[in-house]
Amino acid sequence: MGEKKESIKDLIRWARHYLNSKKINNPQLTAEIIAENITGKEKINLYLDRDTELSKEQKALFKKNIRRCARKIPLAYITGEQYFMGYRFLIRPGIFIPRPETEILVEKAIQFLEEIKKNHPARDIIVVDIGTGSGNIAISIAKKIKNAFIYAVDVSSLALEVAKNNAKAHRVHHQIDFLLGDLFSPLKEKGLEGRADLIVSNPPYVEEEKIRSLPEEVKKEPTFSLNGGREGVTFYKKIIPTSPRWLKKGGVLMLEIGYNQLEKVAKIIYEVQEFVDIPQIFYDLEGIARVISVRKK
């Protein structure tokens, strides 16, 4: 007997039932994303060609990747990519996976920088991205603000390797200087004191005791990218008081914050005299505070 023929439609149907039996969320979408990744087809073409049979190698890889999903391996680690702000980013195990909610941070950062560009079209803009990870924040800003130069910092050499590749893929590598080190420490050699228009960061903010109760897929991401200490604000306590040293007068610090962290983070800001008294808060569509922004006097 020959090998059983299986079309794209058959494989997606099998994957949907298999993932559903393993209690994986969004089994249909997951199966489609893996099929798109393996075939190189966009979703619409996946369905136009739904009766097409895949090669033996493609079928084997599809089933292997579906089984990896069932073992709660993050989808971005399986496909090697994640979309953010409509852009494709390369991702590897050991790298924090960009989240849709971080797009609010980037959108607000771009709005602020566009205002500077409008008022001062000839001058360069300096941005600092603390904890750049895959480079998704820095690269998304660079693609929209062509006169911005971004210093993107991370403690992980693996993350910086991937971020550099992403910057080259998006052709903005000439706008970004990727720096290995902890928080602001690599900036000392760059002579950036009092020069940054914007400091942006999505720091680790999960409370330490909540790490063990995170979904299994999330726990497969690097702990150092998630763990925000006992109250979830360890990194805010480091970033916020130090930021005025690097910001120019009127420069802005913009941070993503976790669920129910607004009061804690605002309290840290209020204790720093160099900032104006009232920070701006930006919310998601569900009314959850996602971003806090404060200006240096």
Residue tagged 């084997």 (tokens): 60
Distance CA 83, CA 103 (A): 11
133 is in an annotated binding site: yes
74 is in an annotated binding site: no
132 is in an annotated binding site: yes
CB 129 within 8 A of CB 152: yes
**Burial (0-12, 13-18, 19+ Cβ within 10 Å), 197:** buried
What is the β-pairing status of strands 196-201 and 176-180?
unpaired
In single-letter form, the type of residue at position 3 comes to E
Helix (H), strand (E) at residue 88: strand 87-90
Q: Single out the residue of 141, 159, 158 nearest to residue 150, CA to CA.
A: 141
Residue 119 appears among annotated catalytic residues: no
86 is in an annotated binding site: no
Helix (H), strand (E) at residue 53: none
Residue 203 appears among annotated catalytic residues: yes
**Burial (0-12, 13-18, 19+ Cβ within 10 Å), 189:** exposed
202 is in an annotated binding site: yes
Q: Which of 27, 98, 186, 203 is catalytic?
A: 203
Distance CA 179, CA 185 (A): 9
Q: Which of 65, 136, 166, 202 is catalytic?
A: 202
154 is in an annotated binding site: yes
2 is in an annotated binding site: no
Q: Which of 96, 112, 178, 275 is catalytic?
A: 96
Residue tagged 């990218």 (tokens): 225
Alpha helix (H) ranges present in 130-274? 136-144, 157-169, 216-219, 234-246, 262-270
- Distinct helix (H) and strand (E) counts, the chain: 11, 9
Maximum alpha-carbon separation in the chain: 78
Residue 65 appears among annotated catalytic residues: no
Q: What is the edge-to-edge ordering of all strands in the sheet holding 247-256?
A: 176-180, 148-154, 125-130, 196-201, 247-256, 289-295, 280-283
Q: Which residues are catalytic?
A: 96, 202-203
Residues marked as binding?
131-135, 154, 202-205
